[in-house]
Structure 1
Amino acid sequence: MLAFRLALLREHAGNPVYGRLRADAPERARRLFAAQLVAPDEVTFLAERGRCAVGVLRCMESRGSPLLDPSRYGYVASVYVVPAERRRGVLHALLDAAAQWCTTRDLDEMRLHSAADNDVGNAAWDALGFTVVEHLRTRAVPRSR
Structure 2
Amino acid sequence: MEITPLRDVDLDAFVDELWLPAQRELAAMTSYTLADDIRAGGVSYHRKRLDSDDAITYVGSLGDDLVAHVSAAVQTPSPVYEQIHECHVGELYVDGSIRRRGAARALLDAAEQWGRAMDCERLDLNVDVQNEAARALYEDVGYRVERQNMKKPLDD
**One-letter code aligned to 2:60:** A
Structure 2: how far apart are the matches of 1:116 and 1:69? 29
Does 1:94 find its partner at 2:107? yes
In the other structure, the counterpart of 1:112 is: 125
Given that 2:61 and 2:68 are in contact with CA atoms closer than 8 Å, whether structure 1 keeps it comes out as yes
User: Could you tell me the TM-score, scaled by structure 2's length?
Assistant: 0.82
Does 1:13 find its partner at 2:27? yes
Does 1:134 find its partner at 2:132? no
Moved beyond 4 Å, runs of 4+ = none
In the other structure, the counterpart of 1:74 is: 87
Aligned residues: 142
Deviation at 1:100, TM superposition (A): 1.1
Structure 2: how far apart are the matches of 1:16 and 1:60? 23
Structure 1: how far apart are the matches of 2:41 and 2:126? 21
User: Could you tell me the TM-score, scaled by structure 1's length?
Assistant: 0.87
Given that 1:65 and 1:71 are in contact with CA atoms closer than 8 Å, whether structure 2 keeps it comes out as no
Please give the root-mean-square deviation of Cα atoms over the aligned residues, in Å: 1.8
Given that 1:64 and 1:72 are in contact with CA atoms closer than 8 Å, whether structure 2 keeps it comes out as yes
**One-letter code aligned to 1:105:** M
Moved more, 133-142 or 120-129: 133-142
Deviation at 1:71, TM superposition (A): 2.5
**One-letter code aligned to 1:48:** S
Given that 1:73 and 1:107 are in contact with CA atoms closer than 8 Å, whether structure 2 keeps it comes out as yes
**One-letter code aligned to 2:74:** E
User: Please, which runs of 5 or more residues in structure 1 have no aligned partner?
Assistant: none
Task: Tell me which protein shows more helix as a share of its residues.
Answer: 2
50, 56, 64: which is aligned to 1:43?
56
Deviation at 1:66, TM superposition (A): 2.6
Structure 2: how far apart are the matches of 1:16 and 1:93? 26
Does 1:27 find its partner at 2:40? yes
Deviation at 1:51, TM superposition (A): 2.8
Does 1:57 find its partner at 2:70? yes
